Structure 1
Amino acid sequence: MGRGLLDTVISGRKSRTSHAQVVDELGRAIITGEFPVGTTLPGDQDLAQRFKVSRTVLREAMKTLAAKGMIVPRARIGTRVTPKSNWNLFDSDVLTWHFHIGVDPEFLEHLSQIRMAFEPYAASLAAGQASEADIAELYALADAMADSNHTPETMAFADLKFHLAIAEASRNPFMRNVGSLIEAALVGIFKLSSPAASEKRMVEVAATHRRIVDAIAEHDPAAAAEAMRQVIVTGRDRIRANLAK
C-alpha cells in the first residue's frame, strides 16, 4: 500500500531530483498565488536561473505541470496559469500542494462529498467480491487501529491501509485508482485531529471500521455501504467540530 501523499504531508519529505523539485516548487508557487490564475509565468531564462537548473530540465517540468492542467503554453505569448477548474484535483501532487498552503474547510467538505460518492459503493462491491483472505486482512487492519501504542501519524497510516484495502477488495480498477483522493481526505482529518488520540477513541474507530468488514463478511452490500457512509460522516463531523473551535 502506498503512503505517498499522507507520508509527504506528515514527514515534510521533499523531492530529490532537479525535475521533481522544479515541479514541486513551481506548483506550490501557483497554488499559493505567487503566480495567480491568468498570469503569464516568467520566461525560461528567468525560471532556469531561479531554480538553478538547465533549460532542458525546466522544459520537462513545464510539461509535467501542463499535464496536471495547471499551465498552458501559448505561442508568442508565454506560459499562462490556467483557471483552477482545469487543475487535476485527483493528482497527488496537486492535492499535496493544496494542503501545503493550509487546510481549506470548503476544500475538505468537497473531499468528503466525493468520498461519499465512491467509498460506500466500493464497500458494497467488496461485499460481493471479497475473498476469505480479503476479509481476514480487513479484520486485521480494522483491529490494528485499536493499538494503544498508536501515534496520530501511525493511526493515519493504519486508517489509510484499511480504506485502500476496501478499494482493492472491490475488484474494480477504477476504485483502486482513487487512492490519492482517499489519502487527501485522511490528510485533512490528520491535520485537524488532536495531537494525541485517546485509547478510547482508537477503540471506537476500530469498532466502526469492523462494522464495515462485518457487513462485507455477511455479503450484505447495503449494510457495507451504510457502515462506510457512517465512517465518512463521522470523520467529516470531527473536522467541522475542530474547525468550529
Structure 2
Amino acid sequence: MTPLPPHDVRSSLGRNLTHGMLDALGRAIVTGVYTGKRFPTEADLTLQHGVSRSVTREAVKMLTAKGLLSARPRQGTIVQPAESWNLFDPDVLGWLLDRTFSLELLRQFNELRIAIEPAAAQLAERNAGDAGLAAIRAGYARMVAAEAGEDDPLDADIAFHVAILRAAGNPFYAQFEEVVTTALRSSIRFTNRFKGRSADLAAHGAVLAAIEAADGIAAHRAMQQIIADVLALIVERDRRAEGSAA
C-alpha cells in the first residue's frame, strides 16, 4: 500500500495535532501494533505522521507519563509491558476498551466500582449537603426522563453515579470520577444489551431514598446491590461463553 502523503496523515490527527498524535500512538500501543517490534524513533514518527518534532516529542512525553513508554540509555524509547500502564488514566482505559470487548476487563472494572461507589453513597448521606443532594436528585430525574425517551439513558445514569461520587465530600473519591465514568460507559452498554432495557430505576431510586433518609448503611447496601447485579450478569455471560466454546 502506498503511504499517505504527510498532509493527509496530518489531517487524520484532527485540529489538535499533539492530542491526535497521542491518541493514534496510544491506540497503536494498546492494540499491539508494536508488540515484538522496535518503537519508531522521533524522526520516524515525525515523518510518518507529517508533524513537527515538537508535536512528536510532546506526544511521546505524554505517553511516557501514562506508563506506556519509557526512554532508556542506548535503547531508545521502548513500549512498556501492560502491567506498567496507568490504568487510572481515562485515555488508557478508553484505548483498552476500544481494543476488544472483554468480559474479564468489564469484571475488573466493576470489582473496582463495588469497592468505591457503595462507600461513596454511604459518605454522601453524611456529606452531600443541599447542593450535593440536589445533584443526585437531578441525576435520578434524568434517569426517569430517559426511561420516557426524553434524555440519553447512558448520560443520565452516569450523571447519577458521578453526583454521588462528588457528594461523598472526599477529594479522593472525586478523583475516581473519570475512571468510573469510563467503566460505566462500557458496563452500561453491556447490561443494556443483554438485559434489553435501561438501568433499574427502582434500584437507583433506593440509593437516593436512603441518602434522603440519612441512612448511610442502606445507601451502601443499595449501591452495592446495583453493581453486584452487573457482576452476576458478567459471570453468567462468561459461563455461557465458556459453555459454547467447549
Q: TM-score range by the shorter chain?
A: 0.7 to 0.9
Which residue of structure 2 lines up, in the alignment, with residue 3 of structure 1?
none
- Structure 2: runs of 5+ lacking an equivalent: 1-12, 242-246
Deviations 1:202-222, CA, capped at 9 Å, x for gaps: 4x6222111111111122221
- Pick closer, same or farther for the CA change 1:196–1:72 going to 2, 3 Å: closer
More relative contact order, 1 or 2 (CA 8 Å, 6+ apart): 1
Q: Which amino acid is the alignment partner of residue 30 of structure 2?
A: I
Deviations 1:9-37, CA, capped at 9 Å, x for gaps: xxxxx86311001110100011110112x
Greater C-alpha radius of gyration: 2
- Structure 1: runs of 5+ lacking an equivalent: 1-13
Contact 1:15/1:24, CA 8 A, preserved across alignment: no
Equivalent residue runs for 1:65-104 within 5 Å = 65-104=63-102
Equivalent residue runs for 1:47-196 within 5 Å = 47-147=45-145, 148-150=147-149, 154-194=152-192
Confirm whether residue 237 of structure 1 aligns to residue 236 of structure 2: no
- Secondary structure of the residue aligned to 1:103 is coil
Bigger mean CA deviation after superposition, 104-113 or 130-139: 130-139
- Pick closer, same or farther for the CA change 1:137–1:56 going to 2, 3 Å: closer
Which residue of structure 2 lines up, in the alignment, with residue 25 of structure 1?
24
The alpha carbon displacement at 1:135 in A equals: 2.2
Q: Which amino acid is the alignment partner of residue 138 of structure 1?
A: I
Q: Which amino acid is the alignment partner of residue 65 of structure 1?
A: L
The alpha carbon displacement at 1:193 in A equals: 4.3
2: distance between equivalents of 1:183 and 1:240? Answer: 22
Identity %: 35
Which residue of structure 1 lines up, in the alignment, with residue 6 of structure 2?
none
- Secondary structure of the residue aligned to 2:33 is coil
Which residue of structure 2 lines up, in the alignment, with residue 5 of structure 1?
none
Contact 1:72/1:79, CA 8 A, preserved across alignment: yes
The alpha carbon displacement at 1:149 in A equals: 4.0
Q: Which amino acid is the alignment partner of residue 181 of structure 1?
A: V
Contact 1:144/1:206, CA 8 A, preserved across alignment: no
Contact 2:22/2:59, CA 8 A, preserved across alignment: yes
- Secondary structure of the residue aligned to 1:146 is helix
Question: Following TM superposition, where does structure 1 have runs of at least 4 consecutive aligned residues deviating by more than 6 angstroms?
Answer: none
Bigger mean CA deviation after superposition, 216-225 or 230-239: 230-239
TM (norm. structure 1) is 0.84
2: distance between equivalents of 1:181 and 1:45? Answer: 34
1: distance between equivalents of 2:67 and 2:100? Answer: 21
Q: Which amino acid is the alignment partner of residue 209 of structure 2?
A: D
Which residue of structure 2 lines up, in the alignment, with residue 9 of structure 1?
none
Q: Which amino acid is the alignment partner of residue 201 of structure 2?
A: A
Q: Which amino acid is the alignment partner of residue 33 of structure 2?
A: E
Contact 2:191/2:230, CA 8 A, preserved across alignment: no
Aligned residues: 227
- Pick closer, same or farther for the CA change 1:160–1:172 going to 2, 3 Å: same
The alpha carbon displacement at 1:65 in A equals: 0.2
Bigger mean CA deviation after superposition, 169-178 or 187-196: 187-196
RMSD: 2.3
2: distance between equivalents of 1:109 and 1:195? Answer: 16
The alpha carbon displacement at 1:194 in A equals: 4.5
2: distance between equivalents of 1:146 and 1:46? Answer: 52
1: distance between equivalents of 2:37 and 2:104? Answer: 25
2: distance between equivalents of 1:57 and 1:133? Answer: 42
Contact 2:203/2:226, CA 8 A, preserved across alignment: yes
The alpha carbon displacement at 1:178 in A equals: 0.3
Deviations 1:82-105, CA, capped at 9 Å, x for gaps: 111111111110011011112211
